[in-house]
Structure 1
Amino acid sequence: MPLVSSSSDDDTDVNTIAVIAEAAHFMFQNTASSSVPRNRTFIHRDRQTAEQQLMADYFVPNSKFGDVIFRNRFRMSRRLFVRIAQDLEMNYPIFQTTYNAGGVKGFTGLQKCTSAIRQLGGGSTPDSLDEYLNMSERTSRESLYNYCSGVVQLYGAEYMRRPTTSDIQLLYAAHEAKHGFPGMLGSIDCTHWDWRSCPTYLRGQYMRGDHRYPTIILEAVASYDLWIWHSYFGVAGGNNDLNVLYQSPLFNDTILGTAPSCSFVLEGEEYKHGYYLADGIYPNWATFVKSFSHPITPKKKRFKAAQEAARKDVERAFGVLKAKWAIIRQPARSVEVDRCKDIMYACLILHNMIIQDEGRAICPVHVPDSPNEQEVSPDLILEIRNQGIHQKLLADLVDHIEHTYIPTLDH
């Protein structure tokens, strides 16, 4: 028995050694390729020198470039830019200055915010900022995405809010004084953003027959001062656009009745809900006021001219947005829908913040309403979609505009 046991142990040891040798040989073959020298160049980026140059150019007393040049290049005042950078640095570690294991200082929050705003405002590609900021393409791209996401999370609740009761009253007064339309909340329209980097599996969902490339649609409401109150960011689905928009927060909040309802009086008639000026693609609801395709009488011609003149607000808003933020004037670069959405919403929020910072907002102070869990009842939906109310409102507006002085028409 001892002899047999010893022979068995020897065979086991031999087999074990063979398996270990084979495994070592296999691992050596797999790791041999990784030991081959690669043509990877290390670029020494002097971050501290870049930081000193940036501070001397824009952020120290008696800086090289004054307030006018700063606003042209950063799209906003210095105080607003610094305020946003400080809020981001306070709430997100990615914007805080860190040191690596060798004690080398990383990028500051101002450097990362500068990279992000240059990409948003100037449409710069991430690698084009390497020469001035000494920031790699990957870091610049991550700075942009984190900046947009942080702006949406920090300021979206205030600057992309639905109007409160106080806001609605101020909107009524401002639009009636400017355009002659009592009870007007704003103008509604949509624009398209090319998405040439759309993934293949999503192209069918984002294609339209009148566009060569996939596009993402932005539905927005704007006031005459280009203050954008709401927006819906979704697919461009051809004839199904309105079906998608009816399910959006924009329509559910402000048109289907969950938003505060402020009545107004027109030609002796009281209307419960405000309305939006729209074009012909929108339905004949009580919350939409459209123009006439072929007006014949003088008062209908005057109404058509007044309505189309007032609707230029939202067209100008889209034009100003694309002129101010070149990144949405160019095709979207990201392949992820959420990142495209954050970029667009960040541009809208920053636009509204700039309007308020410059003192041009209709509703400069946010006065929240008392908490109210209001549900949309079927009767309210039928009331909103009542075509009889739509026709009555349109007729009363035609009579009202006929005898109203409108600065944009009667100057």
Structure 2
Amino acid sequence: MSHRRSLARQFCEDSSSEDEELMMAAIVAEEEEARLDAPRHGGSQPGRQSLQRDFAERFQNLHKDYFAENPTFKARMFRNRYRMHRPLFLRIASAIEAHDSYFSLRRNSAGVPGLHPYQKLTSVFRILAYGIAADLTDEYCRLAKSTALEDLRRFVRAVIEVFGGQYLRSPNAEDTARLLAIGEQRGFPGMLGSIDCMHWKWENFPTAHKGFFVGHKRVPTVILEAVASQDL
């Protein structure tokens, strides 16, 4: 019992039991508020369950499924589930790991290895490819929800910082000349690229304008147009 509580009990000896209970309740509430406002310095949270996620064992499964010399799921399955070919994934993984040490394989104070970079990036690509909730990657990749969200934030930032200068910019004169030369070689002189479009479902559309945005898709959509070169 704290010193303040002892003093409160001495002060309330001549008071009614109701007064004593009210004062003690106020002191307890004040101490609890101070505890919640106190800065945290890490450590486990009271009542939080610690799960043994077996990172190394799960990575072996992931490696056998997609990254072994003769993986269980071949190139076509990799392309479907990661939305890219494996060499591109490996290129991105290497660049991201070199840029941000957060994605490197690290060990805890006991020397036990944590999550492999491929586990973190597989979780990121599953979230982006399928639009699923972060905690749905836990069973296969063994990432807690908070870790999966942090991976996603860091990945997006790293991709912009690493690849933005090359891919997130307008074409320059050199790009234009190269694209025109490619178009002429392929029998389309003067062509910079091919235009394509897709229907993007509009969830919260204005009901009054529904008729303007509904076609053969039967649901309100907006059309997104893009121009891409032959190598995308």
TM-score range, shorter chain: 0.5 to 0.7
Q: Which runs of 5+ in 2 are unaligned?
A: 9-26, 36-44, 211-221
Are 1:59 and 2:41 an aligned pair?
Answer: no
Matched with 2:104 is: 96
Matched with 1:222 is: 226
Secondary structure at the aligned position of 1:105 is classed as coil
Q: Output one character per residue of 1:344-372: Cα deviation in whole Å (capped at 9) or x when no partner.
A: xxxxxxxxxxxxxxxx427xxxxxxxxxx
Are 1:41 and 2:49 an aligned pair?
Answer: yes
Secondary structure at the aligned position of 1:222 is classed as strand
Matched with 1:110 is: 118
Are 1:22 and 2:30 an aligned pair?
Answer: no
Whole-angstrom distance in 2 between the partners of 1:32 and 1:146 = 33
Compute the RMSD of aligned alpha carbons: 4.0
Matched with 1:148 is: 156
The count of residues paired between Structure 1 and Structure 2 equals: 191
Q: 1:188 to 1:72 in 2, by over 3 A?
A: closer
Q: 1:222 to 1:167 in 2, by over 3 A?
A: farther
The offset of 1:112, in angstroms, is: 0.6
CA contact (8 A) 1:129 1:135 kept: yes
CA contact (8 A) 2:135 2:145 kept: yes
One of 127, 130, 143 as aligned partner of 2:135: 127
The offset of 1:169, in angstroms, is: 2.7
TM-score computed with the length of structure 2 as normaliser: 0.65
The offset of 1:179, in angstroms, is: 10
Whole-angstrom distance in 2 between the partners of 1:82 and 1:25 = 66
Secondary structure at the aligned position of 2:50 is classed as coil
Of structures 1 and 2, the one scoring higher in RCO (CA 8 A, sep 6+) is 1
Whole-angstrom distance in 2 between the partners of 1:25 and 1:129 = 53
CA contact (8 A) 2:176 2:192 kept: no
Matched with 1:361 is: 231
- Paired residue type of 1:77: H
The offset of 1:99, in angstroms, is: 1.6
Q: Which runs of 5+ in 1 are unaligned?
A: 1-19, 197-206, 212-217, 228-359, 363-411
Matched with 2:17 is: none
Using the aligned pairs only, state the percent identity: 27
The offset of 1:161, in angstroms, is: 2.5
The offset of 1:40, in angstroms, is: 3.2
One of 160, 167, 170 as aligned partner of 1:162: 170
Q: 1:220 to 1:134 in 2, by over 3 A?
A: same
- Paired residue type of 1:222: A
CA contact (8 A) 1:176 1:184 kept: no
Matched with 1:247 is: none
Q: 1:195 to 1:159 in 2, by over 3 A?
A: farther
TM-score computed with the length of structure 1 as normaliser: 0.39
Whole-angstrom distance in 2 between the partners of 1:100 and 1:135 = 16
Matched with 1:86 is: 94
Q: Output one character per residue of 1:205-251: Cα deviation in whole Å (capped at 9) or x when no partner.
A: xx99858xxxxxx998733xx34xxxxxxxxxxxxxxxxxxxxxxxx
- Paired residue type of 1:92: D
One of 57, 78, 83 as aligned partner of 1:75: 83
Secondary structure at the aligned position of 2:114 is classed as coil
Whole-angstrom distance in 2 between the partners of 1:66 and 1:83 = 18
The 5 Å alignment of 1:168-183 reads 168-172=176-180, 182=190
- Paired residue type of 1:150: A
Q: 1:173 to 1:83 in 2, by over 3 A?
A: closer
Q: 1:186 to 1:45 in 2, by over 3 A?
A: same
Matched with 1:231 is: none
Whole-angstrom distance in 1 between the partners of 2:166 and 2:173 = 15
